[in-house]
Chains A and B, each alone.
Chain A
Amino acid sequence: MNIRQLMLGNEAIARGLLENGCAIATSYPGTPASEILSSVVSFEKLFSGDQKKPSAPMHIQWAVNEKIAFEIAYAGSMTGLRAAVSMKQVGLNVASDPLMSAAYIGTKGGFLVISADDPGPHSSQTEQDSRLMAMMAKIPVLDPDSPAQAKDMVAMAYELSETFEIPVMLRPTTRVCHARQDILPAEMISLDRIADFQKDPARWAATPKFRYLMHKELEKKLGAISELMQTAPLLLNPETSQVSAKRKAVVVSGVAAAHAKEIMKALDLWEMIPLYQVLQPYPLHSEFISLMINGYDEILVIEETTGVIEMQIADRNRVKGKLDGTVPKVGELLPEMIQDIISKFTEIKSDPVRLPSVPGRRPTLCAGCPHRASFFAIKKAAKKGIYTSDIGCYTLGLNLGAVDTVLSMGAAISQAAGFYHAYKHQEKRPDIVATIGDSTFFHAGIPGLVDAVVQNVRFVLVILDNRTTAMTGNQPTPDTGIGAGGEPLERVDIPSLVQGCGVKFCKQGDPYQLNEFIPLVKEAVAYSREHGPAVVIARHPCLIDRFRKDEQHQPILVEITDSCDGCGYCIQHFECPALVMDEGEERVQVDPILCNGCGVCVHVCPKDSIKLNGEW
């Protein structure tokens, strides 16, 4: 039996944390980083069942947002324990405040900031490069090319962090996080350290005067880190013999390095052009910069997503990359693009290959998703309203025409306020309905709601409470009362929280009961026009949340009667994937494979052509 295990990149990172004695791991879910923390939970369970089980169990938690997650893990490292916080790249924006400061103050125990980037973007608002955040904060960042290397880099990062008492960033991208590879696991260990916070207010609570000194100290650390052998760039093909007149080199990092290795071999360039892999894009090793400038006439740099390495080899006459347009500035660097770029740079013939861009299927809310019913009700209740929304599955409400804006976590509420203030002196003021998920409300919605109460913003907030963080794989929320490992925790319930923010109209309903839910939203809209903020909590568990299987209602069979004339109203306004137009028959049909039996569509057809047909 082979002992190599198939591991997702995120699992490999989690395994790396356990193999290096991490004691505290925190996160807020976000694609492509979500599986890191859940895998820490699984490995830790395995480890605790082991003979050599740790003296103290790890602390593993989903935090309310990335800033909180960062600060919890960081404080853990201040006590000398090893800690890690993981998030997606836009989550790092939320955690950027403590990040900048922690870089100056530094750490005691090793502290890893894992920020997963999403070139493409596949599942994010932006393609931002976390390595630029590392540069801005002035902390070292490691850039893995594969799940196996990501695991190895956890060890490297902890060593770096503890040697220099500095937070270290690990920056995987989607293609590392969501690749699987056969990996040989090493032993998980416990360092048997105990929390030991050494008071030192001049450091841990430094005033601006000391911050200047810390900044100087930080620059000194970076200087030393840029000379460290362990993280120095690797020449992958020492067997190269330059044959062309011009001395050329290719520099790669992250998954672009993985693509380039394969392509250089396929194009027979492996023995001709030196290929350097940068492990630590910032700070780039000073000796490497000299080697590039003094040793080569032309240097091609291929990296994602911004030219971080390129900027540090600042000779514009020799360096080709993102800044001179040799490498695209936008979008994921697919291997076929890298093949093109390397062929041109090395002046060899290779036919450009590109897949034709065929539009795939757009994502849609699941058949039977309670959000669909909520959006349908909102459109009924505030027909010409402005619909601000937020980050989550329910962003897909835009397919129903019920989402007009999506900006950032929590912005549904503050943007609703902005629209209200912009329109409030006009005679005809549009109704404003904001939608936000339960987890997003906890994450960043609460301050916005407090502000809206203070400013008496006349809008309706519909909290789409499906009892979980659905988009990222059904992680718990603070209202769930369950921890990352399934352990029972305290609960914070949403209605009390809303009332605590000072909202006077707060009612709850089940969007599946559309006949009652539409009037409830109408009542809230009417209240908001006259009085101020109104909150409706649309509460129905997520269909695919396996923890809430027991709370789902009995599926209902529906049928389309002969009176259906194929007007398409249900398809346009309800957009359920299980309702399909039969073009030949000019009528709608129910796809029995996709239908989940929510029965909501019965209330949708204006001609009453969708009828109940008994229980499942």
Chain B
Amino acid sequence: MNNSIQQQIVISGVGGQGVLFVTRLLAEAAINKGFPVFTSETHGMAQRGGTVVSHLKVGDFFSPLIRPFQADGLLALKAENLPQHGDYLKPDAWAVINGPSQASEISAIFFADADALAQKIGNPKSVNLVLLGFALSKLSQTVENRKSLFCSFENIKAVLEKRLTDKKKMLEASLEAIETGFNKF
């Protein structure tokens, strides 16, 4: 068990996209690996299509919130959130963005059109899982970019399988979505 791990990740999007669900999957993967975890979520009125942001902190922390310039990574389900939430990132952080490539000062930034991929598999509401799958593939290639997530694709699949054990159809669709993102390249 790696007790020295300390990762702070911002996950953002708009209400209805499933930001909370992705945050929860990652947090449960952290617990399964024996790491302490904190998340902070947006509930209430903003969930009606407003900007939604989650903070995820894995390792020894006390506060549920991430301070500006302290985050190791950003997972943005809407590219429009990059200017708003990019300032949470450390200088050498990673970012995974749903949208077409654009110029950025972030050193390790990866773009994917998760909307199109989700539509292609006939599950337009699965953008969140497609992008998470894509992030898991990009952030496991540690040799290429030296960035890695605290958990693996397999860890997240295990969480999904446990959470949706009584909902076979939803599980199949979720696994398909996350694999679609993971196998994008």
Contact = CB atoms under 8 A, between A and B. Distances in A.
Interface of A: 1-2, 4-6, 8, 31-32, 34, 122-123, 145-146, 175-176, 178-182, 255, 258-259, 261-263, 334-336, 339, 353-356, 358, 360-366, 393, 395-396, 471-472, 577, 592-593
A592 B124 CA distance: 9
Nearest to A236: B62
Interface string B58-97: 0001111111110000000000110110011000000000
26 contacts: A2-B32, A6-B31, A8-B41, A31-B43, A32-B43, A123-B44, A145-B62, A178-B43, A179-B64, A180-B23, A180-B38, A180-B39, A180-B41, A182-B36, A182-B37, A336-B67, A336-B68, A356-B87, A358-B83, A360-B50, A361-B49, A363-B46, A363-B47, A366-B16, A396-B48, A471-B44
A123 B62 contact: no
Given A4-B31, A175-B65, A353-B68, A393 B37 contact: no
B7 interface: no
Contacts of B87: 355-356
Given A355-B88, A356-B87, A361-B50, A122 B63 contact: no
Given A2-B32, A146-B62, A123 B46 contact: yes
Contacts of B31: 2, 4-6, 182
B41 A360 contact: no
B165 to A, nearest CB: 14
B44 A364 contact: no
Interface string B17-54: 00000011001101110111111111111111111000
Nearest to A9: B64
Contacts of B49: 361-366, 577
B145 interface: no
A116 to B, nearest CB: 11
A202 B125 CA distance: 62
A4 B32 CA distance: 9
A122 B37 contact: no
Nearest to A181: B38
B112 to A, nearest CB: 16
Contacts of A180: 23-24, 27, 37-41
A192 B7 CA distance: 45
A483 B125 CA distance: 31
Contact of B48 (A339, A360, A366): A366
Interface in B128-152: none
A258 B63 contact: yes
Nearest to A336: B67
Contacts of B42: 122, 178
Contacts, number: 139
Nearest to A264: B62
B101 to A, nearest CB: 20
A364 B88 CA distance: 26
B119 interface: yes
B159 to A, nearest CB: 10
Contact of B64 (A255, A339, A360, A365): A255
Given A31-B45, A258-B62, A364-B49, A339 B37 contact: no
A175 B48 contact: no
A362 B50 contact: yes
B181 interface: no
A178 B54 CA distance: 10
A255 B63 contact: yes
A122 B68 contact: no
B37 A181 contact: yes
A31 B44 contact: yes
B27 A6 contact: yes
Contacts of A364: 48-50
A175 B40 CA distance: 7
B67 A2 contact: no
Contact of B63 (A31, A259, A360): A259
B160 interface: no
3 shortest A-B CB distances, which residue pairs? A360-B51, A123-B44, A363-B50
Nearest to B69: A353
B179 interface: no
Contacts of B115: 593
Nearest to B87: A355
Contact of B62 (A8, A261, A354): A261
Interface in B101-131: 115, 119, 124-125
Nearest to B15: A363
B67 A360 contact: no
Nearest to A362: B50
A577 B15 CA distance: 12
Given A355-B87, A355-B88, A6 B28 contact: yes
B40 A179 contact: yes
B14 interface: yes
Contacts of A577: 49
B39 A335 contact: no
A593 B120 CA distance: 12
A1 B84 CA distance: 38
Interface centre among B27, B28, B38, B67 (most CB of A within 10 A): B67
A395 B23 CA distance: 28
Given A122-B44, A363-B15, A592-B124, A335 B63 contact: yes
A575 to B, nearest CB: 11
Given A123-B45, A178-B40, A593-B124, A6 B24 contact: yes
A365 B16 CA distance: 11
Given A356-B87, A358-B83, A360-B51, A262 B61 contact: yes
A366 B16 CA distance: 9
Nearest to B53: A360
Contacts of B63: 255, 258-259, 261-263, 335
Contacts of B34: 2
B137 to A, nearest CB: 23
Given A146-B64, A180-B39, 7 more contacts: A32-B44, A179-B41, A182-B37, A258-B62, A353-B68, A361-B51, A364-B48
A179 B34 CA distance: 19
A559 to B, nearest CB: 18
B32 A122 contact: no
Given A6-B31, A122-B44, A255-B63, A354 B14 contact: no
Contacts of B84: 355, 358, 360
A363 B32 CA distance: 35
Contacts of B68: 336, 353-355
Contacts of B39: 179-181
A365 B38 contact: no
Q: Which of B37, B42, B68, B69 has the most CB of A within 10 A?
A: B68
A588 to B, nearest CB: 18
